[in-house]
Structure formats: structure tokens, C-alpha cells
Amino acid sequence: MRPEPVGDLAGRDQEVPSLAEKTLFEEVELYDLPEIARLTGVSVGTLRRYVKEGRLRAHKFGGRYRATKEQVRAFVDGDGDGDVVPAVAGERLTGASAVPLPMEGAPPETFAGERREGPEPRLLPEAEGETASADEHSLVRVGRAPLEYRPEGVHGGGEDSSPPQLLFMKPGDVDALVSSLAAHTKRIEESAEERDRQIAGLVEGLQEKNRQLRHAVEGVREDTRRAVREMADEIVGKVLDPRREEQDRIRFSWLRGRMDEVAERMDQLLTSEPAGGKGRPWWRPW
């Protein structure tokens, strides 16, 4: 027995669009299990079991299973049976209930929360033997979602654990994302080249300073050598000057002459030799 729709779910007047067919930045209205139970009259435990079985497509965000209005209508109308992939892993949404899931290998500023230009990837469950559900064949697999950015429940092994997840995007969005990444890579390369030029300028400046310092050291060393050489030449010149010997000889001759005069004077005063004889006094050795 199928539950009867009540409230906002009464009167289905259009086909249920796939969530993948929506634009990447469209706001999606979500209902959690207590709200679905209030609208359909089915208990929360039964709805949780339907989610596990794949009869109710729901996505776990913020610790709760949530489903769009179209998915709830599909469940009420019985369109949830068949080849529906269990959606406990969640799908990339935007709006208040969105969970940020940056691509694997994205630049660090993306993981830090900075919004990048270009489209964003969708997040879909990885079914056994398949890459996506039947209504997602138009999407392109672009990578596997990192564990730390998956919805809650993927780290444990209990009943709330979810299967591995893949990142999917439309082909046109992939081209736009590749162009955005190429532009970002070009900006990084230009920044790296500018830093290389700055580093080269700093290195050249340091080399010039080093050359100036070496020139100054060589100048001081040469001045020191010249001063030492001049001092040594002056000392050697004073010691080996030929005029010094002549000056010493003149001084010694003068002193010798003075001594001779003193000796003769003493001879005259102290001589005791008889008249007519002249000998050498006893105190004079020469």
C-alpha cells in the first residue's frame, strides 16, 4: 500500500527532473526524514530503511538524510523502485544545505575555502560495476572525492557508512574548468617568473657587494705591505748607511786627538826624567 501525498506533495503536474540535469549553482529545496514522515505519514525508521534499499532517493548532509521535493514525489508515486541507485552518499548540491567538496588535486586556496572561477563538480555514489545511475550518463567522471570532503558517514563501517564517491561533471563544464585551471596555472607561472627575476636581482646585488668588499680588502692589504716595506727600508738604510762609518771615524779621531793632548799635558806636569833625557812615563802605555 502506497502512502497518499498530502500538503505540498499533492498534485504532481510535471515530470520529475534529474538532479544532475539542474544547473550547478541552482538552489534546491530539501526535506529531511522527519518532514517527509510528517507529509507522507510513514515513520522515520521506515523511511530510513527505504533510503538504504534505494526506494527513496535521499542524500546525507549535516548528519541527516535529505531529499528534494521531486524525489519525495517520485517516492510517493512509486517511481523509486527499480534501478534507482542508493543515494546515501549524496550528490553535489548548492544552497543552504550544500557541502563544499573541492576536486581532488585542486590548488590549496580551493581547500581553504576560496571560491574559484568556473564550474564546480558534482558528487555521485560509485555503484558496484557502474560509474553512475542511468540518468547520469551525460556526465563525465573527473576524479574521486577526498575522504575529508565527503558527506558524513563514509569514515565508519556501520549502517551509516556510504560507498565510495566519484566526481562527475558535464563535458562543457569540464572544458570550462580546464580553461580556468590553465589560466590559474599561467598566473602561478608568471608569479614564479617574477620571483625568479627578483631573486636574480638580489643575487647580482650581493655579488657586486662581494666584489666591492674584496677590492677594499685588497687595498688595505696593499697599503699595509707598502707601509711595512717602507719601514723596513728605513731601518735597513739607517743600519747600512756608508756615511755612518765616516762619521764614527771622525768622532773617534777627534776623541783620540783630545786624549793625546791630555797625555802630553800630564807628561809635562808629572815627568821626573833628568834633563837631557826623555823617556816614556810609567802611566802611559803608548
Same domain for 80 and 203: no
Q: H helices of 171-241, where? A: 171-239
Is there a domain that residue 45 lies in? yes
C-alpha 234/C-alpha 274 separation (Å) is 60
Same domain for 87 and 54: yes
Is there a domain that residue 266 lies in? no
Is there a domain that residue 13 lies in? yes
Of 150, 169, 188, the one marking the end of a domain is 169
C-alpha 153/C-alpha 126 separation (Å) is 15
Is there a domain that residue 35 lies in? yes
Of 153, 169, 185, the one marking the end of a domain is 169
Residue 41 phi/psi, 5° resolution? 85, 5
Same domain for 160 and 175: no
Of 118, 150, 169, the one marking the end of a domain is 169
Instruction: Sheet containing 30-32: give its strands across.
Output: 30-32, 64-68, 59-61
Is there a domain that residue 284 lies in? no
Number of domains in the chain: 2
Q: Which domain holds residue 223?
A: 170-237
Is there a domain that residue 265 lies in? no
Same domain for 204 and 87: no
126-157 pLDDT per residue, tens? 443 334 443 444 455 555 545 444 444 444 44
Is there a domain that residue 282 lies in? no
Cell of 250: 771622525
Is there a domain that residue 115 lies in? yes
198-250 pLDDT per residue, tens? 999 999 999 999 999 988 988 888 888 888 888 887 777 666 666 776 777 77
Q: How confident is the model at residue 103 (pLDDT cuts 50, 70, 90)?
A: very low
